[in-house]
């Protein structure tokens, strides 16, 4: 698995997809952060992370579209199937390479928070003694919780994109289908309310597929272990589906 993981990680920078993804992600995240916090004159980062999730719907397919579609296009898929590693190790190696790229971009983007803390420090110095009685600055719990939540949401998106990449050899088709699927996974957040759907049972079922509803606690600075289990379960389902596709191809 390690060899495939390192090979896949290197490939992101050989064909420039890694540079393009990180560059676009950091530029957009910086603009979003500036607009939702500094320009809006607020320390709350909830809008920033909510909008960033929508951006990930478009950007994460850049990471996943090549995972297996490229192997099929270059006719190197058979080498993977006959390699002396298990299908599970091969799939996990590719999955963790994509997740490493994603997690690295999230970590680097944390530099966006520095200006917010700098503004808070200046306001505290201007407030003087009053700063001892009121909280001035961003909420550390909200930022940390949102970072954890968005890492798990990204992990789910990567698992979905990886599975879809196994279904076609056209990278553009894989990206478009992944975007459509991720939009469908976020759509319940906008329709799942009592004004639109009166049946509680229907709303409950829709809510189960709503990946955004479980992000609310993270955005409030709370660690929701049930939500973490939910995200890990979704990742496992799509990783398992990817393994089954290649198991069938190996022995088919």
* Residue 33 belongs to domain spanning: 2-251
**Model's pTM, two decimal places?**
0.90
Q: Are 162 and 96 in contact (CB under 8 A)?
A: no
Which three-class secondary structure state does DSSP give residue 144?
Answer: helix
Average pLDDT score over residue span 220-229: 88
CA–CA–CA angle 53, 57, 61 (5° rounding): 135
106-18-26-211 Cα dihedral, nearest 10 degrees: -50
Compute how many other C-beta atoms are within 10 angstroms of the C-beta atom of residue 65. Answer: 26
Rounded to whole angstroms, the Cα distance separating 153 from 186 reads 11
Q: Quick one: tokens of 97? A: 């390479």
- Per-residue pLDDT, 204: 66
Q: What does the pLDDT look like over 157-207, one tens digit per residue?
A: 999 999 999 888 888 999 999 999 999 888 776 665 554 555 666 666 667
Number of domains in the chain: 1
Res. 142: pLDDT tops 70: yes
3-state secondary structure of 84: coil
Q: How far apart are CA 48 and CA 149, in angstroms?
A: 13
Which of the two residues, 73 and 242, has the higher pLDDT score? 242
pLDDT at 148: 95
Percent of the chain whose predicted confidence (pLDDT) is above 90: 46
Q: What mean pLDDT do residues 77-89 have? A: 75
Distance CA 164, CA 64 (A): 9
Residue 132: pLDDT over 80 = no
Predicted confidence (pLDDT) per residue in 13-31, tens digit: 888 888 999 999 999 999 9
């Amino acid at each position: 698995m390690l060899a495939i993981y390192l090979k896949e990680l290197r490939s992101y920078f050989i064909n420039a997809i890694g540079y393009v993804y990180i560059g676009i992600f950091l530029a957009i995240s910086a603009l979003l952060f500036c607009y939702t916090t500094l320009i809006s004159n607020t320390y709350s980062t909830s809008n920033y992370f909510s909008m960033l999730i929508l951006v990930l719907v478009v950007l994460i397919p850049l990471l996943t579209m090549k995972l297996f579609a490229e192997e099929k296009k270059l006719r190197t898929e058979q080498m993977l199937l006959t390699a002396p590693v298990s299908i599970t190790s091969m799939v996990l190696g590719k999955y963790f390479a994509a997740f490493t790229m994603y997690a690295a971009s999230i970590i680097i983007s944390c530099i966006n928070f520095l200006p917010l803390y700098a503004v808070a420090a200046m306001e505290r110095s201007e407030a003087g003694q009053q700063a001892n009685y009121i909280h001035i600055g961003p909420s550390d719990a909200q930022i940390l919780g949102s970072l954890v939540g968005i890492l798990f949401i990204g992990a789910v998106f990567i698992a979905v994109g990886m599975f879809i990449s196994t279904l076609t050899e056209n990278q553009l088709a894989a990206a478009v289908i992944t975007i459509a699927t991720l939009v469908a996974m976020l759509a319940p957040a906008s329709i799942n309310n009592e004004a639109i759907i009166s049946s509680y049972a229907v709303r409950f079922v829709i809510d189960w597929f709503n990946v955004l509803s479980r992000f609310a606690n993270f955005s409030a600075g709370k660690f929701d272990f049930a939500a973490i289990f939910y995200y890990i379960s979704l990742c496992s389902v799509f990783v398992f589906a990817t393994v089954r596709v290649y198991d069938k191809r190996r022995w088919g």
